[in-house]
Structures are given as structure tokens and as C-alpha cells.
Amino acid sequence: MSSPTSEIRNQPKTWTKGEYLVSTDTSLIPIQTLNTWYAGEEFYWAKPMPEPALRETIQNSLCFGLYHNPSQSDKSPENDTSNSTLEFVGFARCVTDYTTFLFLTDVFVLSSLQGLGLGTWLVTCVQEIIETMPYLRRSLLLTGDWKRSVPFYEKVMDMELMVCNPPVDGKDAVGFAVMQRKSWGAPGFGEMS
């Protein structure tokens, strides 16, 4: 009998909606296209990396590819979901131990397809997997987009803001402290202001 963890890790899951497909099968992700997205202005929180490093990152993450699949609309059994018929149009990546912790990052849908509900659907697929993790303690994400992303994740994933009130007048801090140290892979790291 397999555990939910091994099923998530070893058996890719697929969802379909009209001509679109979401899959956790990392072999479908076109690494060069993803790296091109990382190099673009819309993917402001990341930057491209050498393809072997990106390939390893993908293999060590729980990834969700969003694809346009025109052949899906005919619902025939011979529908081909190979790379040749799928157009890569969106992505989400989870850094996880598959048991107690999940960090959602790199959520992206091509700007030409935004506003069609595909991003909501993609994140709903992520949430569906999260809800199958019986020992999950916490899922996290970081966003600098207070106007769109914070309300979006509150609504779609039931995320809550983590508030930390630092120590004041000798009183203990309250809440979680979300901390970071930027390093070589962060956009702008090492640039002079």
C-alpha cells in the first residue's frame, strides 16, 4: 500500500479543463522555455540559471506545468499529451519534503492568458495536492505584490498573513518572523544601489 507522500512523488497527477492541462509530470516541462521566462521582466523575483541547475531544481521540486492542449478539446482516447502537442503556458513550483512542509514559489501564467481563470485553476490544483498531505504542518509563500497576490492567495488557498510585531519596550515579539538572506541567485544581488 502506497502512502499519499509516495503517490504525490511517484505518480504524476493531471487535471484538464477545456483545452488546458495541468500536470505534475516534470518530464513535460520545457527547461529552455522556463529559463526564458526566468529571464523576463514578468518573472521579476527570479533570474535564469544554467540549464543543468534548473533541471536539478525541477527534479527536486513538486512542479505543476500548465499547458494549452488543443487536441484535448476533442476528448478522443488517442489524445496525445506529449511535449510536441502541448504549449507550455504556466508554472508553479513547490519546495517540499512531501510530508510536513511546502513552500509555494514561481507561480506564473503568460500575460496573454491572464484574466481567464487559468492562474486560479493552477493554484487550485496545487491546493488539491496540499490537502492530500496528512502531516503537513505549514505551507508558505512569499509575495511582494500586496495589491493582487495577497488577496488572491487569501481567497484561493486560505492563506493568512504572518504578522510579527518586533520586541518593543522589553516585551517579547509576537507572531512569526519571516526572514531572508539574499544570495547569488537572487536578482540584483551584489549590485550597487
Q: Report the C-alpha gap between 193 and 164 in whole angstroms.
A: 28
Q: Count how many domains the chain has.
A: 1
pLDDT for 6 equals 72
Answer whether residue 78 is part of any domain.
no
Tell the burial category of 72 from Cβ atoms under 10 Å away from its Cβ (0-12, 13-18, 19+). Answer: buried
CATH number of the domain where residue 175 is located: 3.40.630.30
The model's pTM is 0.84
Helices (H), 74-158: 118-130, 149-157
In a domain, 79, yes or no: no
The tens digit of pLDDT for each residue in 36-82 reads 999 999 888 889 999 999 999 999 999 999 999 988 665 544 444 55
Backbone φ, ψ for residue 88 (5° rounding): -70, 115
**Cβ count near 62 (within 10 Å):** 20
pLDDT tens per residue across span 139-160? 999 888 888 898 999 999 999 8
Q: For residue 133, tell me if it sits in a domain.
A: yes
CA dihedral 166, 172, 174, 180 (to 10 degrees): 50
Mean pLDDT, the chain, integer? 86
Would 126 be classed as within a structural domain?
yes
| 111, HSE (Cβ side, Cα atoms, 13 Å) | 5
pLDDT computed for residue 122 by the predictor: 98
Q: Which domain holds residue 14?
A: 4-72+85-182
Strands 138-141 and 101-109, by their bridges, are parallel
Domain-embedded: residue 191: no
Instruction: Note whether residue 192 is domain-resident.
Output: no
Evaluate whether residue 190 is within a structural domain.
no
* Cβ count within 10 A of residue 74: 9
Query: Is 193 inside any structural domain?
Result: no
Helix, strand, or coil (residue 4): helix
Angle (deg, nearest 10), helices 31-39 and 51-59: 110
